[in-house]
Amino acid sequence: MNHIAGLSHAEVQERQSQGHVNKSDAKLTKSVSRIICENVFTFFNLFNLAIGVCVALVGEYTNLLFLGVIFSNTLIGIAQEIRSKRMVDKLSLMTMPRARVVREGGESEIHFEELVLGDVVKLSAGNQIGADSILLEGAVEANEALLTGESDAILKKAGDELLSGSFIVSGTCFARVIRVGTDNYATALTREAKAHKRFHSKLLDSLNKIIRFASCFVLPIGLLMFFTNYSGTATGLSTAVLTAAAAMIGMLPNGLMLLTSVSLSVGVIKLGRARALVQQLFGIETLSRVDVLCLDKTGTLTEGRMRVERVIELDYSALPVPLEEAMGAFVCAMDDNNATFLAVKDYFCRNGEALEFIDRVPFSSERKYSAAIFTGFTLVMGAPDVLLNNVPGEISAFERDARVILVAKSDARAPEALPGELTPVAALVLEDVIRPDAKQTLEYFASQGVQLKIISGDNPQTVSGVARRAGFAEAEAFIDAQTLETDEALAEAAESYSIFGRVKPAQKRALIKALQKGGHTVAMVGDGVNDVLALREADCSVAMAAGSEAARQIAQLVLLDSNFAVLPGVVNEGRRVVNNITRTASLFLMKTGYSFLLSLLAIAFAFPYPFIPIQLTLIGMFIQAIPSFFLALEPNSERIRGRFFETVLGNFLPSSLVVVLNVAFIQLLAPYANIDPNAVSTLCVMMTGITGLFLLLRVSRPFNRMRAALFALMTVGFFFGAWVLPGYAFFSLGALKVSELMILLGMAAICYPLTYGLARVVKKVNKKRAAL
């Protein structure tokens, strides 16, 4: 085989220039330029910039401070997203598989994406095929389970095709790449699935509804506000622009989407450090909401390897040497790479001296045995029912919960056919190695009300035995999927059973759809191309890094160490995002609510809008921006309860109504209490800030040290900014007389009880709406 020279460097460069490179069109992360553009050119930023231009044109430069906040928010969003991108790219590169390629007569290792059309690759046991190829020399057995779901190894000889995504089970060969990139079989399957990929995020949907609602009304109301306040003079123009600008700025929930994006990006970085690659931001949220998790036992409950637990003596005397020596020579002679052989090799390889080896018969799923021919005898290892006509009871008793391999001896030398006159020597009892953290992970999901559905192609009794050893409480609730012949039977079984054995690839998707029709939010953990359709159908898709590239590309999350125990951490991160955004969104939307209502009242009753942009900046800084940042990033692993919009509405609407009532009362009282316009504006700003602080108090409970300190600092910061020089002049606030201070104290005293009463009313209304 050494005569194969492969491509020359010139030929490689030519193919690279022609685009015949093994790169798919799927990009895992956005480019830096796209991140910058998407953060800079947003509806919010462009609208705020337009408002800022109008304010600058009338010379009110102090009121442009809100643009500094917008600029800072944009920079934070860009920096955080680029940081997250670099983390994802780094982890993705670390997990990218490599191929052994022959070029210029020498062998070297390159990433799959560096393969070009016509490259010659060397493949041996355990290698994954990175691009569709045709076998040139040698013979191998390929496992195409990740493509087809069938675990049988297929013998491949010269002239046969090797499909990307499959693995070499045994043998060594040289193959030439015949398809690259998007033309690969596995990539085509992935592209088809991605084309129909359905993505759904309750949090994103709710935020988009809020933004669309605000966007529909902000410009018409702003224009009406301007024309209502414009008197035809220079002073009137300045006032009209400032009041219209304040109304529009108030109605826009600036920072809410940014806060959500930053919170998710922080989650991506945290999970990346825990070896979980997040490929879809809102996939973190979706996993936190699931109530059914579908998975295979391999790589989740088990480590994906087996271990010899017991050796049953049948007839050691039939061997010319001790069993340990014979098996030591056997495993050294074979080059198989399946889980069963590796377990036997690990148990016996250190024992005995090598016997004189003559020939071998590698294992295949068609033969179901392997053999090594030594001088004087042949040693055979395989399935008991293949090697024996009648399996002894002492062996079959173990086959319910474990895998049993028979070791037999024959005096015949027959490398291509099953030897005759086999004498059973020993039986090896193998069990899947249970992950040490499997029980803890199962208990976590059980405590969180998440149902587990174990889906496997293995015998359901065997899967049940593994689940029982892992501590799965529903281990006895198993069924053979081959008995589920109708959709109705499958749907009924989906609710009644927890373990499904002998599941075909098409049934995986059907099971998920049945569970979704039953009202469940379903996550799917998969590793093969045969799992792609099921992953696409699931509400949240999780892939193992050790599996196929196709599964990894379509999944929202990839477990880099193929470690199921990472998932609780992902769930907790998702809960942090959803719970904390639900908590802090009301701080932003309070301003949207009262700005919308006050604008309508100002237009309808022709009273002056009570705020200008610089005053909203003071309120926004200490009621929204600073506290929401800290509250959004603190740990929070509580189970998600209620629906986002109803919960947020119940928090912000009472406070928005109280602000409107406060402003209306001050406007009505002003003529009778002889309150000048500057004091009216100051009273309105102070009462709005106090109402916002009461809302911050509500969303911060129950207090811990951080929340208590945050609330205290925001309270001090607001009053310091409003009342300590140069706050008066900078925020266009005036000093209050004693009588006006008494009015402020009286209104502040009834503000919290009034907010609490309105909150109870809104809560009752929400309950009635939910019951309808």
Q: With cut-offs at 50, 70 and 90, classify the pLDDT of residue 146.
A: low
Give per-residue pLDDT as tens, 188-197. Answer: 666 655 554 5
Question: Is residue 186 over pLDDT 50?
Answer: yes
Q: Answer yes or no: are the C-beta atoms of 598 and 688 closer than 8 Å.
A: no
Q: What b/e sequence results for 439-477 when a residue is b if at least 16 CB atoms lie within 10 Å of its CB, and e otherwise? A: eebbebbeebebbbbbbbbbbbebbbbbbebbbbebbeb
Question: Is residue 659 over pLDDT 90?
Answer: yes
Pairing of strands 451-455, 499-501: parallel
**Contact residues for 755 (Cβ-Cβ < 8 A; gap 6+):** 654, 655, 658, 691, 694, 695, 698
Q: Once rounded to an integer, what is the mean pLDDT over residues 358-366?
A: 75
Which residue type sits at 150?
A: E
More confident residue, 147 or 67: 67
Q: Once rounded to an integer, what is the mean pLDDT over residues 625-652?
A: 87
Give per-residue pLDDT as tens, 67-85. Answer: 877 887 788 778 877 877 7
Give per-residue pLDDT as tens, 474-524. Answer: 988 999 988 988 888 998 999 999 999 888 777 888 899 999 999 999 999
Beta bridge partners of 116: 21
User: Locate tokens 């020359």: which residue?
Assistant: 8
Question: Is residue 389 over pLDDT 60?
Answer: yes
Q: Which has the closest alpha carbon to 145: 559, 456, 361?
A: 456
Give per-residue pLDDT as tens, 7-22. Answer: 999 999 999 999 899 8
Which residue type sits at 30?
A: K
Give per-residue pLDDT as tens, 371-385. Answer: 888 888 899 998 888
Radius of gyration of the chain (CA): 34
Instruction: Give the C-alpha distances (Å, rounded to integers) separating 625 from 242, 444, 499, 629.
Output: 22, 35, 48, 6
Instruction: Give the C-alpha distances (Å, rounded to integers) separating 436 from 402, 542, 564.
Output: 18, 21, 11
Question: Is residue 454 over pLDDT 80?
Answer: yes
Question: Is residue 749 over pLDDT 90?
Answer: yes
Q: How many residues does the chain have?
A: 772
pLDDT computed for residue 426 by the predictor: 92
pLDDT computed for residue 149 by the predictor: 53
Tokens of 548: 């196929």
Q: Which among 119, 296, 458, 539 is annotated as catalytic? A: 296
Question: Is residue 609 over pLDDT 50?
Answer: yes
199 half-sphere exposure, CB direction, 13 A CA radius: 15
Question: Is residue 45 over pLDDT 90?
Answer: no
Of 336-350, 351-365, 576-590, 699-713, where does mean pLDDT reach its minimum?
Answer: 351-365
pLDDT computed for residue 772 by the predictor: 61
pLDDT computed for residue 1 by the predictor: 45
Question: Is residue 354 over pLDDT 70?
Answer: no
Give per-residue pLDDT as tens, 155-164. Answer: 888 999 998 8
- Predicted TM-score of the model (pTM): 0.73
Q: Once rounded to an integer, what is the mean pLDDT over residues 750-771?
A: 84
Give per-residue pLDDT as tens, 113-132. Answer: 899 999 999 998 767 888 99
The Cα–Cα gap between 235 and 541 comes to 60
Q: Answer yes or no: are the C-beta atoms of 241 and 58 closer than 8 Å.
A: yes
**Contact residues for 616 (Cβ-Cβ < 8 A; gap 6+):** 66, 246, 249, 250, 591
pLDDT computed for residue 120 by the predictor: 94
Q: Phi/psi of residue 107, each to 5°?
A: -100, 145
More confident residue, 298 or 306: 306
Q: Once rounded to an integer, what is the mean pLDDT over residues 136-146?
A: 79
Quick check: is 296 catalytic?
Answer: yes
Of 15-29, 133-147, 179-193, 435-449, where does mean pLDDT reach its minimum?
Answer: 179-193
Q: Once rounded to an integer, what is the mean pLDDT over residues 685-713?
A: 93
More confident residue, 124 or 669: 669
The Cα–Cα gap between 104 and 59 comes to 72
Of 191-195, 471-475, 572-576, 605-609, where does mean pLDDT reach its minimum?
Answer: 191-195
More confident residue, 35 or 531: 35
Q: Which has the closest alpha carbon to 577: 633, 499, 520, 536?
A: 633
Q: With cut-offs at 50, 70 and 90, classify the pLDDT of residue 93.
A: low
The Cα–Cα gap between 722 and 74 comes to 26
Q: Answer yes or no: are the C-beta atoms of 654 and 755 closer than 8 Å.
A: yes
Question: Is residue 726 over pLDDT 50?
Answer: no
3-class secondary structure, 375: coil
How confident is the prediction for the chain on average, in pLDDT? 84
The Cα–Cα gap between 344 and 382 comes to 12
Question: Is residue 181 over pLDDT 70?
Answer: yes
Instruction: Quickly list DSSP for 311-355.
Output: EEES-GGGSSS-HHHHHHHHHHH----SHHHHHHHHHHTTSSPPP
Beta bridge partners of 424: 408
pLDDT computed for residue 416 by the predictor: 59
pLDDT computed for residue 415 by the predictor: 55
The Cα–Cα gap between 117 and 722 comes to 70
Q: What burial class does residue 212 get, using C-beta atoms within 10 Å of its C-beta: 0-12 exposed, 13-18 middle, 19+ buried? A: exposed
Angle formed by the axes of helices 644-673 and 567-605, to 10°?
30
How large a percentage of the chain has pLDDT more than 90?
Answer: 26
